[in-house]
Structure 1
């Protein structure tokens, strides 16, 4: 969506092909860090996202009883009077982005995907699953961690399972939840992120987890079981996790395509090219930044492939740093080395604050 907004805003004709028929989203909430908000501000959308969510300026890292052990002051990239980070529901974010894409003139198609790509010197023919075909100047594969476009391009970069499982649940926001909280447990880690005045999402990062699927009706009880070793504030939140339909459980995969993210006039962006684990809460930031940089480079070069090469040069090392840092932080968490993990997170956030 941000790619569609950025490209349409530069005068390109944009069609978005979405597999889901109803724009349904996976998961409940997410965090837009400072780099995310900075990029969204350039698209004119930061205020709408902040207003639709909950603005934050700090990360409070706590022990299993809820005692604060470390506070990270996040860079205020939008200025001293604006939040450094916003938590919000995925549904609110997608609504903001859909409205903006439509307002910029992008055409949105649902219930279809790309079945095949045929590269040519003057463009790409995309054959779609509804039987139609489009000859276009550029195809942008923004189709996530299990990207089919990546497979079509022959890029061997299947993200690896990190050994962690993330559980998330929508809960009422406690009055004390005005920062992003993390809680270091003896085996697993937990956290809470406000996404509105009334709601937050709680998460548990389960270490050494079996990646198999569990019955949906068991998820709330099992998530509470994982939180039994926590006390204080976490126990307060755990008691409110009751509806299994409000719990999602996902394996953590991470990886980066090492080297050109394009073949001919088809390019990967977002998780299709670089998927960090959630420890750096920066997957959205990288994807939105990709969109802006791609639009910029297409405006700077007459030749599409030259623009795509320049795009990759600007993005690869920054994205690789976030992916590798996120994986390292996960390893430190599994080893119980939380102080080291927090320092590494803080350093990476400072690097991310630099201009794209």
Structure 2
């Protein structure tokens, strides 16, 4: 058997950071490049992380840091427009009984925890750098970088997100497609009454919700139909999100009064992507949002990326040859879980777009129960 030892990871998000940590632990030489000079360490408001993602974070050795920074909870509330609680659903513990069902975190906090773990792993990290050209043969991949340097690798892992240049470079033509919905997100101080995610369906938006991210913070979001990219100028983002939020009661008035800085508001279209057939070409393989993405209806986007990293690293360090058979095994293990998440997440949004009262709780329950199994 030939054991390949030098790996390039393109992209320093959850998937790229995680696979880097795992491969370094196994003794492989790993270079990680990230296009953003700040390594996305300050980007985003909050993130909801389910138990199966926490299971991977524990395997990465960062659970203690996550636990110290997050806000755990175990249920989902449904409220009416005025904020009156209508129903409480108990969350399914997809990571096992010894982990919380769900936690909220400030997204930059989670990213920083992973960054610190990558640094501690001994991987070589180059920020503000992209792969300009990839040329592969039977033995590996030659890479030309944006700074004019070159490298030779036994494997390249493309973890460069939704608009992956690596995906395009290896001839995979699938592209993300808008689902018809978009989301406004912002961080805000946490009112004492907010101890879990609560959702309101209806009003001027399809969904209004919030998630506690620490003892003192939360992130709030409002989901509506997609608008033209230039329909609302960025300097008006706070005014527009606050206009939507003002229609909701309960703790929303307290949240809304902090929606004042347009620079803290993120407006994003929902997309769907699921690459079928295989996630590799030769010695270049894709993980995370580069091959699958969906609306955050199940809060499983980060979980699926983390699981990709775990499964791929397990196979790469199993002693098997790094060949088509191994990379196809990776795809076959991942595709049923990822398809379940993508299809269910898109369906939940489509019911809203079509004004159909589908079996939302049943679909969520079936999907999350399926995800309790190990990836």
Unaligned runs of 5+ in 1: none
Aligned to 1:259: 277
**Residues in 1 aligned to 2:373 and 2:157: alpha-carbon distance in whole angstroms:** 26
Q: Residues 109 and 283 of structure 1: is their aligned pair in 2 closer, same or farther, counting only changes over 3 Å?
A: same
What per-residue deviation string (whole Å, max 9, x for no partner) do you get for residues 166-207 of structure 1?
A: 100111101111111111123411110111111100001112
TM-score normalized with structure 2 length: 0.90
Aligned to 1:92: 109
Q: Equivalent residue for 1:198?
A: 216
1:319 to 314, 330, 338: 338
| Aligned pairs for 1:172-183 within 5 A | 172-183=189-200
| From 121, 124, 132, the counterpart of 1:107 | 124
Paired residues in the alignment total: 356
- Residues 1:292 and 2:310 aligned together: yes
In structure 2, how many angstroms separate the alpha carbons of the residues matched to 1:144 and 1:155?
14
Contact 2:33 2:127 in 1 (8 A): yes
Instruction: Determine which of 331, 335, 342 is the counterpart of 2:350.
Output: 331
Is 1:165–1:211's contact at 8 Å kept on the other side of the alignment? no
Match of 1:349 in 2: 368
How far apart in 2 are the matches of 1:286 and 1:126?
28
Unaligned residue ranges in structure 2 (runs of 5+): 1-16
Q: Over residues 188-236 of structure 1, what are the superposed CA-to-partner deviations in whole Å (9 max), with x where a residue is unaligned? A: 1111011111110000111253344632221111001122332233233
- CA distance in 2 between counterparts of 1:82 and 1:318 reads 20
**Distance (whole Å) between structure 2 residues aligned to residue 338 and residue 224 of structure 1:** 27
- Tell me whether 1:228 sits opposite 2:246 in the alignment: yes
Per-residue deviation, 1:337:
4.3
User: Please, what TM-score do these two structures have when normalized by structure 1?
Assistant: 0.95
Residue 122 (str. 1) matches residue 129 (str. 2) = no
Kept in 2: contact 1:185–1:229 (CA 8 A): no
Counterpart position of 2:37: 21
Distance 1:336 1:232, change over 3 A: farther
- 1:232-264 per-residue CA deviation (whole Å, 9 max, x = no partner) reads 332332232122222111111111101100000
- For 1:156 and 1:282, the matched residues in 2 are separated by 24
